[in-house]
Amino acid sequence: MRVVVAEDSVLLREGIGRLLEEEGHTVLAGVGDADALLAAVESDPPDVAVVDVRMPPTHTDDGLQAALRLRVERPAMGVLVLSQYVEQRYAVDLLAGSATGVGYVLKDRVGHVGEFLDALDRVATGGTAVDPEVVRQLLARSSRRDPLERLSERERDVLAAMAQGYTNPAIADRLFVSQSAVEKHVNAIFDKLDLGHTPVYSRRVLAVLRYLGGGGAAA
């Protein structure tokens, strides 16, 4: 896998780069600001860009804005965003529109090497990876809303796994149930959230966005 790492902390940037190299990936560039990220991708497009949300020059959301721009300009390229804290708006911005090849994980997740590499692989292969803590907090915030209260406990478990980007077979393994049971729960979630079939949007993502206040484009 060919990767560009954009992180203004030299220590973390070098650490991620070294980890990826040790796992057999190729780090094309390690950069410390949003402009350098865009230039590096333009010069030699990677399979995935790992991007810190907050980077120079403003140290606010420059990295996120660069990631959103790359999502539009290079939809075939994966983008995995790293954040120090759970920011609801950032997750919504990233997942709105196409939900392929995108991830949002907390920086602490990098220390869980297996989970970090799994998230990277899923994003690189066109999947979605959302940090479990992000999902937990977002769903906790949304628990006051009526639609979520309609879901059973098991359906909430399935929805949380869906939001993390797991496929139905992977969810079945994690919850120790059959794939057919997962499919049944997924369909129940769609029904309870009034998410009909649509050729434009992923109902799996809409099921999460509905609770985040950013899913206005539902079917």
The pLDDT value recorded for residue 86 is 73
The mean pLDDT value of the chain amounts to 83
SS3 195: coil
Question: Domains in the chain, start-ordered, CATH in brackets?
Answer: 2-143 (3.40.50.2300), 147-212 (1.10.10.10)
Among 16, 105, 11, 117, smallest CA distance to 53 is for 105
The pLDDT value recorded for residue 215 is 41
Percent of the chain predicted with pLDDT > 70: 84
Mean pLDDT value across residues 90-112:
79
CA quadruple 90, 190, 199, 219: dihedral sign: negative
Kindly give, in sequence order, each residue whose CB lies less than 8 Å from that of residue 135, ignoring residues fewer than 6 positions away: 160, 163, 164, 208
Q: How confident is the model at residue 197 (pLDDT cuts 50, 70, 90)?
A: low
Q: At 57, list the tokens.
A: 């020059």
142 pairs with which residues across the strands?
none
The pLDDT value recorded for residue 214 is 41
Cut 0.75: pTM above it? no
Instruction: Quickly tell me which residue has 């420059």 as its tokens.
Output: 62
Q: How confident is the model at residue 2 (pLDDT cuts 50, 70, 90)?
A: very high
C-alpha gyration radius of the chain: 17
pLDDT above 90 for 61: no
Q: At 163, list the tokens.
A: 């939001």
